[in-house]
């Protein structure tokens, strides 16, 4: 369904299913981080919370079916907008009380147009 949404509806948070993903990332990620820190021997000074990188535009790999359903090869800008929007609307809302929280958009690190940055289209190369 998200493949059919307009960029404007993605940007303004009204795209079908977007609020579910926001909740999943904010609530689920918050709980996961708190669980990990509860088991830690010492509380860290800083926690980095990362968004995923954009998949490679070309190539093939195990995620081709999912990327095809999203029409990624035809309209990568829509998936990029979705990932940026989730970073801004969800990932950046995750905070760790008493710990500096840094939000890192991995999609700024890899070049989705360069297949040598990837293995199987969705995993960083060495």
Asked if residue 59 lies in contact with residue 113, where contact means CB atoms within 8 angstroms, the answer is no
Q: How far is CA 13 from the centre of its chain?
A: 15
pTM, full prediction: 0.85
Give tens-digit pLDDT for 74-115.
Answer: 999 999 999 999 999 999 999 988 999 999 999 998 899 998
- C-alpha 87/C-alpha 49 separation (Å) is 10
The DSSP code for 25 is I
- Is the pLDDT assigned to residue 1 strictly greater than 80? no
Residue 126: the pLDDT is 80
Give tens-digit pLDDT for 27-60.
Answer: 999 999 999 999 989 999 999 999 999 999 988 9
Residue 67: the pLDDT is 93
- C-alpha 123/C-alpha 112 separation (Å) is 11
The domain ranges of the chain are 2-124
């Amino acid at each position: 369904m998200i493949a059919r949404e307009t960029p404007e509806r993605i940007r303004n948070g009204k795209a079908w299913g977007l609020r579910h993903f926001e909740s999943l990332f904010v609530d689920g990620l918050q709980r996961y981080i708190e669980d990990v820190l509860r088991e830690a021997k010492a509380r860290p000074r800083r926690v980095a919370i990362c968004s995923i990188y954009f998949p490679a535009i070309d190539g093939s790999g195990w995620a081709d079916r999912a990327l095809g359903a999203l029409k990624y090869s035809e309209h990568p800008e829509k998936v990029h907008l979705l990932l940026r929007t989730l970073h801004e609307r969800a990932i950046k809302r995750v905070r760790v009380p008493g710990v500096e929280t840094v939000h890192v958009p991995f999609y700024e690190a890899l070049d989705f147009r360069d297949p040598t940055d990837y293995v199987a289209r969705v995993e960083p190369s060495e």
